[in-house]
Amino acid sequence: MKRLFLIVFTLVFTASCSTDHGRPIATLVYDRVEMTPSGIGFLISFTSDTDILSLFGPAIGEGMVCALEDDHDFSIGHYLKRSGRGSVRFVDDTTGGHYQSKLIFREAGQSPGEETLLSGKALRDVLIKRASMTCAFRVNTTGNRTYLSNPMLVPTADLVQAIDTP
């Protein structure tokens, strides 16, 4: 009987930590890209059919994540070899508003947690090998599974042009 109670308790406890978020899955539409004034990051502008910044209350982390390779596993705890990550904000303008993500690209090192920034020629060399990169808006909250938007394709030629434009 104790064993049955322990099994039921474990199932109920672990299920409550990963409940379905029940939120609409946002579709993001790429608009444009520009370099940040520092020249290290990029400002990616896009629209969404869902108010992505109001989907959840307090969140452990939310932002854009982009894959520079074919690994599109954006789950928390999975390390992408080369990726871009950044915050997202809403920009209210004359078009009715859009979202903007400030992305910085990184390459994972040999040891867990080791990363180097990718910028300039090193980033350009990675980008020119691909037609696009896949990005998603990700939110990690307590009590829900990680939220991911539908994937958004960003043309890498636009990023290369931003790097090449002084």
DSSP 79: P
Distance CA 18, CA 3 (A): 23
| Segments of the chain with pLDDT less than 70 | 1-21, 58-59
Amino acid at 123: L
Closest by Cα among 88, 156, 94 to 125: 156
Indicate yes or no: pTM above 0.85.
Answer: no
142-154: pLDDT as tens digits: 777 889 999 999 9
Q: What is the pLDDT of residue 56?
A: 81
Give CA angle at 135 (148, 162), nearest 5°.
155
Token pair, residue 142, equals 């307590």
